[in-house]
Amino acid sequence: MKDNLLLNALVKLCGGFALVAALLFLPAGTFHFWNAWLFIGVYFIPMSITGLVLLLKSPELLKKRLRIKENEPAQKVVIALSLLMFVGGFIIAALDFRFGWSKLPIWAVIAAAGVFLLAYALYAEVIRENAYLSRVVEVQENQQVIDTGLYGIIRHPMYFATLLLFLCTPLMLGSLWASLVFLIYPFLIVKRIRNEEALLEKDLTGYRAYCQKVKYRLIPFIW
């Protein structure tokens, strides 16, 4: 099983790398887009390490993380809009670099990369805490509510981590115009969370009580 899982993971990793590289370097018209290389490094290296650790320590969780087919119609809409956001944001960032529409100072780009890495560490911790962390919205067999660690602070720490990741992405790419595109993401994640919580409250035993215990969904003291 591990051999098939490894092959699946490698295919998706290489496919993701090729897609991101094409979206960044082709519109930029050059491989000398250093912001793109920075993003590729801080995105794909931690992802590869996390995937390897999951393959060795928790292959079942890795299998769940590789699934991308949503069953909920509302989630399919969120995924489709998120994909459009990424494609549009990357292309605009590359064109911004090519034509010099905006320019961020290097310290801002490096700071964004630092926050991105911290957010990925948070993401990895969420994966460690929650063995039911599928990429698709569903209630799994024998699933239990996780209410300790980061889940004792907010109900969706993974989405908080992805919020930081994706808002830092256009800044790493050095584009203020692309940042405007990625500002769509908070609205998409709110829609995803509302739909997901409706499903969990209906089908996951104890989730309603958990919501009463942990009041904030995404950002402490705000929402």
Domain segments of the chain: what residues?
A: 2-213
pLDDT in tens, 68-83: 666 777 778 888 898 9
Within 10 angstroms of residue 82's Cβ, the number of other Cβ atoms is 17
> Terminal CA-to-CA distance of the chain, rounded, Å?
41
- Report the alpha-carbon distance of residue 111 to residue 173 in Å, rounded: 12
pLDDT in tens, 131-180: 777 666 666 667 788 888 889 999 999 999 999 999 999 999 999 999 99
Would the pTM count as exceeding 0.85? yes
Task: Find out whether 182 and 169 touch, Cβ atoms under 8 Å.
Answer: yes
Query: Counting Cβ atoms within 10 Å, is residue 171 exposed (0-12), middle (13-18) or buried (19+)?
Result: buried
Within 10 angstroms of residue 198's Cβ, the number of other Cβ atoms is 13
Task: Find out whether 201 and 208 touch, Cβ atoms under 8 Å.
Answer: yes
Task: State the virtual CA torsion across 128, 130, 136, 138 in degrees, nearest 10.
Answer: 170
Within 10 angstroms of residue 178's Cβ, the number of other Cβ atoms is 26
Out of 3.40.50.2300, 3.20.20.70, 1.20.120.1630, 1.10.3660.10, which CATH number does the structure's domain 2-213 have?
A: 1.20.120.1630
pLDDT at 148: 86
